[in-house]
Amino acid sequence: MTEQNPVQLNGWSFVLADSLEKVYPDAPPRPFDRTIPVSVFPGETASVQVALRPPMKHGFRLAGALEVAIDGPSAGFATISQVELVPCSLAAFPQHDGGYDRDTPGLYPDLLRPAPDGLIRPLYGQWTAAWIDFVVPSAENAGEHGLGISVRDAEGNTLFSTHICVTVMPAQAPELEIVNAHWFHCDGLASHYGVGVFGEEHWSIIDAFMGSAARMGANSLLTPTWTPPLDTAVGGTRLPTQLIGIREDSGYHFDFSKLLRWVGLCAEHGIEYLEIAHLFTQWGAKATPAIYVETAQGLERRFGWDVPASAASYRELMAELLPALRSFLAEHWSLDRVIFHLSDEPEGAEALAGYQQAKAIVADLLDGLTVVDALSDFEFYSSGAVPNPVVATDAVAPFLAAGVKNLWVYYCVAQDTGVANRFISMPSVRNRVLGHQLFALECAGFLHWGFNFYNTAHSLAPVDPFKDTCAGGAFPGGDAFMVYPGPDGVPWESIRYKVFAQAMWDHRALSLLAQLAGREEALALIDTDGSGGSLAMDSFSHDPLHYRRARELVNQGIAQRVGQTRQCINLSS
């Protein structure tokens, strides 16, 4: 049954909602459907929300924060945050599709502000929500967990109480089978926190944000071997973040000590792949990345937009640097878990010619290594220029028709119509569906450019992401980052972060069921018509209950095959 909502007491209104609902200040949320059980793997997070609104009557005064409490033996596995509104100056581009919650500038629910004491600040005349996470780290505590949830006022009076039951499965989920790449931006962390690049404070912050990326399901991070030539205005530069020290003294000499520290942190957090910063500038490989070299006169920028890709001096550097980098990575990492890039999002005949010329400059130095690039132009693949493309989700049709193997996909600012994405103004189902899509299309990887990009478009200036979620008004809100830079170098998560993590757990569960029962059975559970072939990048269900229901059916299939005793509940309706 659906939760009886809203519950009202002394004028207060309360709604228990699931994690795929966004609680807007001016509308009661969709209530939690109890006919669909909640089960997770050890280490996976189950999330619900308690939405609340103060009495809507003249003269009412808020008497302080409310306390959200979790009761029962399993309460120690739960944490609480408050869903907070953030400004969104660009909610959607013109001519967008109808699959947005809203398309006008305003305040949108997104930020999850930690509330370790359970105190939630109500907003007069508005709905707000407490976000409750429940995660059991190991199978030792598998089984049924009952959680009592209550909301009390400042005088200790209980205004609302409810309960949920979460089943923690004894089976362990396999690791994510795809490369899940998220571009990590060190410059924004240094700028926001006002710390020196690769000083001890910066390293501590990087450590915390790496851990957050890993918990979201990222297993590949962009590594700033040199300052990544991404989102940088033509002729401009970004705050230098170069891990490799380069000194020129009768030839080049390299210091990999910072890179060694970086790969050590990646290993600690379970990051499996390193993405090396692009070897040429974005949008067609016309120029070189900004690379800094220590000389007798001091540190100088030797390369950048003002140095063409074809410069002999760049080939000379790469001829020494790339073999040294290969040797370092072979010793301290594994070359089969290293990904190289040439240029991001090249497009058009002119860019293709420039890309091929730039590729020829370093091709011999990258022989035997994995090189992938994000693009939408099919000719880059058909010409052989990019044998391992990362294709925009709204441009996959010709690549699928060509039978491209181990296809990677990506979405970003431009994928705003008809496909999945994670803009703040979109309903959470357009975020959650990605796990189903990646599994159904047998994608080998997913890439997104913005885990923590805190600059305007083209990196002309830093932004405060608590005040600007749109990169200076250039990108739909939330495209540029998934986490907010909380105090003391601690990342604060977002609703979009939580739902993306759920999508990756869906993929892991589907992979396990496919191992146990075959892909056909898994596909039939996530396709809306059960055909095993109707799900596509541009065709998917917008019903949030479909994703909860499908996941429970997948979990039931797993439980039945691993001998887990579990009540089977009819989820067909």
pLDDT for res 216: 98
pLDDT at 273 over 60: yes
What's the predicted TM-score (pTM) here?
0.96
Banded model confidence at residue 11, pLDDT cuts 50, 70, 90: confident
Query: Could you tell me which residues come within 8 angstroms of residue 419 by beta carbon, excluding any fewer than 6 positions away?
Result: 393, 394, 411, 537, 538
pLDDT at 365 over 50: yes
- Residue position matching structure tokens 């059975």: 521
Average pLDDT score over the chain: 95
Residue 457: Cβ-neighbour burial (10 angstroms; 0-12, 13-18, 19+) = middle
How do residues 206-238 score in pLDDT, each as one tens digit? 999 999 999 999 999 999 999 999 999 999 999
Residue predicted with more confidence, 195 or 58: 195
How do residues 430-448 score in pLDDT, each as one tens digit? 999 999 999 999 999 999 9
pLDDT for res 86: 98
Residue predicted with more confidence, 347 or 21: 21
pLDDT for res 567: 42
How do residues 284-307 score in pLDDT, each as one tens digit? 999 999 999 999 999 999 999 999
Q: Where are the beta strands (DSSP E) in 273-328?
A: 273-276, 292-295, 298-301
- Secondary structure (DSSP) of 230-269: -S--TT--------SEEEESSSEEEE-HHHHHHHHHHHHT
pLDDT for res 4: 63
Q: Where are the domains of the chain?
A: 7-168, 179-407+444-493
> Widest CA span of the chain, in angstroms?
81
Beta bridge partner(s), residue 179: 445
pLDDT for res 546: 96
pLDDT at 9 over 80: no
pLDDT at 531 over 90: no
CATH number of 179-407+444-493: 3.20.20
Strand order in the sheet with 106-114: 7-9, 12-18, 45-53, 128-135, 78-88, 106-114
pLDDT for res 530: 64
pLDDT at 189 over 90: yes
Residue predicted with more confidence, 569 or 137: 137
DSSP 8-state class, residue 31: P
Q: Answer yes or no: are the C-beta atoms of 68 and 122 closer than 8 Å.
A: no
How do residues 175-187 score in pLDDT, each as one tens digit? 999 999 999 999 9
Kindly give the residue spans of alpha helices, DSSP state H, lying in 161-199: 186-193
CATH number of 7-168: 2.60.40.10
Percent of the chain scoring above 90 in pLDDT: 91
pLDDT for res 527: 85
